[in-house]
């Protein structure tokens, strides 16, 4: 099972304008389709039925991701540079919601938190045990950035472990995130450098 | 990788140290401890307690030999015939020697202790069933067993706030030992990975080496020819895999390096530099 076929160098032709540019663009597109590389990472398998986690505000992931096409890493910005993906600070929410959809009840609730100078106490949905060393940054570097995976489609990588968040409202745990889930993926992707050493994750 | 190695290549895994150990190493972390500089202040031991969430067991359990000090200072009197202050106290920091051909590893019934590609003896706490074979087979007596659950008694509020999140708090029935501060190694390696470079010498500093007021402890990678620790090993002619070193050159004051129980062919990763005495 592989993710979509990927073009090498997406977006290389965008700077060119005019007819000649268009022709060149079409040719480039065709040629790059011919040498399209298979994205050869084997995604982990397994499903899980997580309990609903009641959040202080019912955050709709679907509206943000599917309808408005906001990148996962716009809000979960620490994913690419630290161990944890992080929950955005309220200031990030308010950056948009000072002007967008201010009349909606959930945004009013959020604005109230903001004006009271308090944070909504978001609950953690995806949690691994304390004895596990897991880093988002290394996974993203190996799975996406080093392989020139287009960053606008990063949600496909996130979906490996977080499921189809774009169709969820409040995030729910749909992957088991247990040792078998991790280790099977690491064994399947051994050739890509996925470590199999116990002490890489156990601490 | 490692578990594969244990299960499928047992004979390779137990290859003697003189044949270069059991697999291709990425790093071989090692130490050099200069006993001439060691003043026996126990700072290393204290730092270890703080860094590695070690339980403080109290006097009573200490007397029963149930202390959890991964790093201990052993005290010796070099000149016992003399009066007390002149007896020539000497100190030796003792911790897991991260043997290349460790005796603890093959006796573990569940492979909870194994050799990592970094040349360390790993202890996977979740896998450990507490058989204590490893501890009984260790010639250095540096493995410590959790006879009790220490969580509440050892870290009364608010002391649990100082627990290191990078290493787990072990529970009752689990064997533990010095890891060469694997959490620090891991952090440095992660950082190097993110920056697309290799780990530089001096980047990884274990808590004991960091706390040592006289810089008696030097830590580094012996695979890296330029590292301070491999230069020291070379200078004092201590080599991995060489276990019956001719001590003929020992009279030479410059060759002070030795490894404890070298003759057992366990290939320890810690080199000690003998203390220099005026009258020897």
Domain ranges of chain A: 1-39, 61-87+122-201
* A203 contacts B168? CB cut-off 8 A: yes
Percent of chain B with pLDDT over 70: 87
Question: Is the pLDDT confidence value at A139 over 60?
Answer: yes
One DSSP character per residue, A116-177 reads TT----PPP-S---TTB---HHHHHHHHTGGGT--GGGHHHHHHHHH--GGG-SS----S--
C-alpha torsion angle, residues B9, B14, B18, B23 (rounded to 10): 40
Question: Is the pLDDT confidence value at B265 over 70?
Answer: yes
Question: Is the pLDDT confidence value at A17 over 50?
Answer: no
CB-based contact A167:A159 (threshold 8 Å): no
A195 in reach of chain B (CB within 8 A)? yes
Question: Is the pLDDT confidence value at A112 over 90?
Answer: yes
Question: Is the pLDDT confidence value at A61 over 60?
Answer: yes
Element (H, E) at B67: none
A198 in reach of chain B (CB within 8 A)? yes
B3 in reach of chain A (CB within 8 A)? yes
Q: What are phi and psi of B26, to 5 degrees?
A: -85, -45
pLDDT of residue B196: 93
Name the region of B178 (left: φ>0; alpha: ψ -120 to 50; beta: rest). Answer: beta
- The terminus-to-terminus CA distance of chain A in angstroms comes to 31
Strands B217-221 and B29-34: antiparallel
A139 in reach of chain B (CB within 8 A)? no
One DSSP character per residue, B134-151 reads HHHH-TT---EE--S--H
* A131 contacts B193? CB cut-off 8 A: no
Beta bridge partners of B218: B32
- Would you call A91 helix, strand, or coil by DSSP? helix
Q: If 0-12 CB within 10 Å is exposed, 13-18 middle and 19+ buried, where does residue B8 land?
A: exposed
* A198 contacts B2? CB cut-off 8 A: yes
Question: What is the pLDDT confidence band of residue A49, given thresholds at 50, 70 and 90?
Answer: confident
Contacts of A1 (CB under 8 A, 6+ apart): A42, A43, A45
Question: What average pLDDT does the segment B118-136 reach?
Answer: 92
The whole-angstrom distance between A86's CA and the closest CA on chain B is 17
DSSP secondary structure code for residue B116 in this structure: -
Question: Is the pLDDT confidence value at B33 over 90?
Answer: yes
Question: Is the pLDDT confidence value at B257 over 70?
Answer: yes
Question: Is the pLDDT confidence value at B96 over 60?
Answer: yes
Q: What are phi and psi of B230, to 5 degrees?
A: -75, -30
pLDDT of residue B49: 93
Quick one: how far is CA B277 from the chain centroid?
26
pLDDT of residue A24: 47
pLDDT of residue B18: 52
Average pLDDT across chain B, whole number:
86
* Tens-digit pLDDT profile for residues A88-102: 999 999 999 999 999
Question: What is the pLDDT confidence band of residue B279, given thresholds at 50, 70 and 90?
Answer: low
CB-based contact B259:B241 (threshold 8 Å): no
* Tens-digit pLDDT profile for residues A145-192: 998 889 989 999 999 999 999 899 888 899 999 999 999 999 999 888
Q: Which residue of B has its CA nearest to A132?
A: B168
Complex ipTM more than 0.85, yes or no: no
pLDDT of residue B20: 54
Question: Is the pLDDT confidence value at A11 over 60?
Answer: no
Q: In B, which residues are within 8 Å of A141 by CB distance?
A: 193-194
Q: If 0-12 CB within 10 Å is exposed, 13-18 middle and 19+ buried, where does residue B280 land?
A: exposed
B126 → closest Cβ in A196, A200, A202? A202
Contacts of B266 (CB under 8 A, 6+ apart): B17, B97, B99, B100, B101, B102, B103, B139
CB-based contact B1:A197 (threshold 8 Å): yes
Range from A179-183, B11-15, B54-58, B255-259 carrying the lowest mean pLDDT: B11-15
Q: A29 or A198: whose pLDDT is higher?
A: A198
pLDDT of residue A105: 93
Contacts of A136 (CB under 8 A, 6+ apart): A78, A79, A80, A82, A83, A84, A85
B114 in reach of chain A (CB within 8 A)? yes
Question: What is the pLDDT confidence band of residue A116, given thresholds at 50, 70 and 90?
Answer: very high
B237 in reach of chain A (CB within 8 A)? no
Question: Is the pLDDT confidence value at B172 over 70?
Answer: yes
Quick one: how far is CA B10 from the chain centroid?
24
Question: Is the pLDDT confidence value at A62 over 90?
Answer: yes
Question: What is the pLDDT confidence band of residue A15, given thresholds at 50, 70 and 90?
Answer: very low
Q: B20 or A195: whose pLDDT is higher?
A: A195
Q: A120 or B279: whose pLDDT is higher?
A: A120
Q: In B, which residues are within 8 Å of A144 by CB distance?
A: none
* B124 contacts A198? CB cut-off 8 A: yes
Q: If 0-12 CB within 10 Å is exposed, 13-18 middle and 19+ buried, where does residue B11 land?
A: exposed
The whole-angstrom distance between A178's CA and the closest CA on chain B is 13
The interface residues of chain B toward chain A in range 49-108, judged by CB-CB distance below 8 A, are none
Contacts of B82 (CB under 8 A, 6+ apart): B88
Is the alpha carbon torsion for A93, A98, A102, A105 positive or negative?
positive
Question: Is the pLDDT confidence value at B22 over 60?
Answer: no
pLDDT of residue A37: 44
pLDDT of residue B124: 93
Question: What is the pLDDT confidence band of residue A56, given thresholds at 50, 70 and 90?
Answer: very high
pLDDT of residue B250: 53
Q: How many CB atoms lie within 10 A of CB B86?
A: 10
Question: Is the pLDDT confidence value at B264 over 70?
Answer: yes
The whole-angstrom distance between A194's CA and the closest CA on chain B is 10
Question: What average pLDDT does the segment A24-41 reach?
Answer: 49
Question: What is the pLDDT confidence band of residue B1, given thresholds at 50, 70 and 90?
Answer: very low
Question: Is the pLDDT confidence value at B9 over 70?
Answer: no
Question: What average pLDDT does the segment A117-123 reach?
Answer: 92
DSSP secondary structure code for residue B216 in this structure: -
pLDDT of residue B275: 85
Range from A24-33, B66-75, B158-167 carrying the lowest mean pLDDT: A24-33
Question: What average pLDDT does the segment B258-265 reach?
Answer: 86
Q: How many CB atoms lie within 10 A of CB B195?
A: 8
Question: Is the pLDDT confidence value at B249 over 70?
Answer: no
Range from A23-32, B66-75, B236-245 carrying the lowest mean pLDDT: A23-32
Which two three-digit tokens encode residue A94?
Answer: 């308010």
Question: What average pLDDT does the segment B11-15 reach?
Answer: 56
The full set of domains in chain B, from first to last, is: 2-273 (3.30.70.20)
pLDDT of residue A14: 38
């Amino acid at each position: 099972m592989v993710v979509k076929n990927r073009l090498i160098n997406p977006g290389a032709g965008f700077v060119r304008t005019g007819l000649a540019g268009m022709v060149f663009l079409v040719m480039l597109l065709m040629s790059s389709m011919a040498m399209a590389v298979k994205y050869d990472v084997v995604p982990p398998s397994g499903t899980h039925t997580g309990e609903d986690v009641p959040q202080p505000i019912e955050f709709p992931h679907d509206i943000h991701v599917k309808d408005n096409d906001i990148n996962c890493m716009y809000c979960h910005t620490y994913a690419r540079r630290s161990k944890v993906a992080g929950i955005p600070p309220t200031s990030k929410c308010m950056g948009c919601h000072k002007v967008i959809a201010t009349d909606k009840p959930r945004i009013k609730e959020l604005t109230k938190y903001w004006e009271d100078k308090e944070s909504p106490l978001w609950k953690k949905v995806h949690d691994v045990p304390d004895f596990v060393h897991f880093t988002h940054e290394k996974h993203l570097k190996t799975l996406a950035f080093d392989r020139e995976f287009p960053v606008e489609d990063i949600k496909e990588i996130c979906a490996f472990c977080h499921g189809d968040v774009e169709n969820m409202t409040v995030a729910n745990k749909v992957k088991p995130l247990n040792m078998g889930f991790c280790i099977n993926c690491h064994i399947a992707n051994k050739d890509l450098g996925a470590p199999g050493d116990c002490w890489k994750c156990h601490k | 990788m490692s578990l594969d190695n244990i299960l499928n290549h047992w004979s390779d895994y137990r290859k003697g140290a003189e044949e270069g150990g059991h697999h291709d190493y990425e790093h071989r972390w090692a130490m050099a401890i200069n006993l001439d500089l060691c003043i026996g202040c126990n700072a290393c031991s204290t730092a270890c307690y703080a860094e590695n969430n070690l339980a403080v067991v109290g006097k009573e359990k200490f007397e029963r030999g149930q202390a959890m000090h991964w790093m201990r200072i052993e005290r010796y009197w070099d000149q016992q015939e003399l009066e007390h202050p002149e007896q020539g106290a000497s100190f030796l920091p003792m911790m897991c020697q991260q043997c290349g051909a460790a005796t603890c590893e093959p006796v573990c019934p569940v492979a909870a202790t194994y050799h990592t590609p970094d040349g360390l003896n790993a202890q996977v706490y979740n896998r450990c069933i507490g058989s204590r074979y490893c501890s009984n087979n260790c010639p250095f007596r540096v493995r410590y067993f959790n006879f009790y659950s220490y969580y509440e008694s050892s870290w009364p509020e608010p002391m649990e706030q100082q627990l290191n999140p990078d290493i787990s708090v072990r529970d009752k029935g689990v064997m533990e030992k010095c890891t060469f501060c694997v959490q620090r190694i891991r952090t440095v390696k992660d950082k190097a990975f993110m920056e697309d470079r290799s780990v530089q010498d001096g980047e990884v500093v274990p808590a004991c080496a960091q706390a040592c007021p006289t810089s008696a402890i030097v830590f580094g990678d012996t695979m890296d020819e330029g590292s301070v620790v491999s230069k020291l090993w070379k200078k004092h002619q201590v080599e991995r895999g060489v276990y019956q070193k001719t001590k003929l050159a020992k009279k030479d004051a410059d060759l002070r390096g030795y490894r404890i129980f070298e003759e057992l062919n366990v290939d320890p990763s810690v080199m000690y530099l003998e203390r220099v005495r005026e009258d020897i």
